[in-house]
Amino acid sequence: MKTALITGAAGNLGRAVTERFISGGYFVSGTVIPGDHSNLDFSADQFEKTSLDLMDEKAAGKLVMDLAERKGKIDSAILTVGGFAMGSVKDTSARDIMGQYQLNFETTYNVARPLFTKMMEQGHGRIFMMGSKPGLSTANGKGMVAYSLAKSLLFRLAELMNNESRHLDVVTTVVVPSTIDTPQNRKAMPDGNFDNWVTPQAIAEILFWHCSAEASVLREPVLKVYNKA
């Protein structure tokens, strides 16, 4: 049985990815934030839940190492944890930037680093990090300075990791969705064209395929999932 690590497993995207990978025969280890009592009703032989503060580098590293020791390998990881903030340059302090850096970059790096190290040792693996249009291009980052800067680091990180692993079957990809069709986004943007958005299930399906043998020849570090938005 293949093993996947999914951070933010109780979120809209994290839950959809968890469901898809379990249905595809994976054992999934999913993280939730401390105090989150969301019902993740999967059988124990397919899923385990860990409450974890991903800003705790030591704890994140221990999670990865313990999982790898118990399962022998970690085949895939989907790191969905992050957060959003508005703010122009005028309205964005250095503390604001640091907050977004911690929420969007540290929570990813603290897991991605030990994962990458393990996958380099085992010779294979797929890591997916959640980017954003503002992080990909400054043209999309107007009024989102701290968020845009924090997310932009994920693209550079993926490039550096893929350069290190270029002779192995270890690939790091940044996923860039358009607006994700969630209840929260529908409430925030009631006049939006929901048909143009991308569903969590569609993203989950794409990520699952990118972990397949058929996709093993791909080494694209950026995966744009825009639908028509």
The C-alpha R_g of the chain, in whole angstroms, comes to 17
Q: Residue 122 is encoded by which pair of tokens?
A: 């085992």
Give me the pLDDT at residue 228, please: 86
Q: Residue 158 is encoded by which pair of tokens?
A: 């993926």
pLDDT digits (tens, 9 = 90+) for 28-66: 999 999 988 888 989 999 999 999 999 999 999 999 999
Query: What's the chain look like in SS3?
Result: CCEEEEECCCCHHHHHHHHHHHHCCCEEEEEECCCCCCCCCCCCCCEEEEECCCCCHHHHHHHHHHHHHHHCCCCEEEECCCCCCCECCCCCCHHHHHHHHHHHHHHHHHHHHHHHHHHHHHCEEEEEEECCHHHHCHHHCCCEHHHHHHHHHHHHHHHHHHHHCCCCEEEEEEEEECCECCHHHHHHCCCCCHHHCECHHHHHHHHHHHCCHHHCCCCCCEEEECCCC
169 pLDDT above the threshold of 90: yes
Give me the pLDDT at residue 221, please: 84
Which residues, listed in sequence order, are joined to residue 77 by a DSSP beta bridge? 5, 127
By CB atoms closer than 10 A (0-12, 13-18, 19+), residue 125 is: buried
Q: If you average pLDDT over every residue of the chain, what do you get?
A: 95
Please report, in angstroms and rounded to a whole number, the separation of the first and last CA atoms in the chain.
Answer: 36
Tokens 């379990």 sit on residue: 22
Whole-number percent of the chain with pLDDT over 70: 100
For residues 148-172, average pLDDT: 96
At 219, the pLDDT band (50, 70, 90 cuts) reads confident
Give me the pLDDT at residue 36, please: 86
For residues 202-227, average pLDDT: 93
At 156, the pLDDT band (50, 70, 90 cuts) reads very high
CATH 3.20.20.370 fits 3-225, yes or no: no
Higher pLDDT, 48 or 220: 48
For residues 85-100, average pLDDT: 96
pLDDT digits (tens, 9 = 90+) for 199-208: 999 999 999 9
Give the pTM.
0.95
Q: How far apart are alpha carbons 105 and 82 in whole angstroms?
A: 8
153 pLDDT above the threshold of 80: yes
Closest CA relative to residue 9, chosen from 46, 61, 62, 58: 46
Closest CA relative to residue 229, chosen from 157, 163, 139, 133: 133
Contact between 46 and 63 under an 8 Å Cβ cutoff? The reply is: no
Q: What is the largest CA-CA distance in the chain?
A: 51
For residues 125-151, average pLDDT: 94
220 pLDDT above the threshold of 80: no
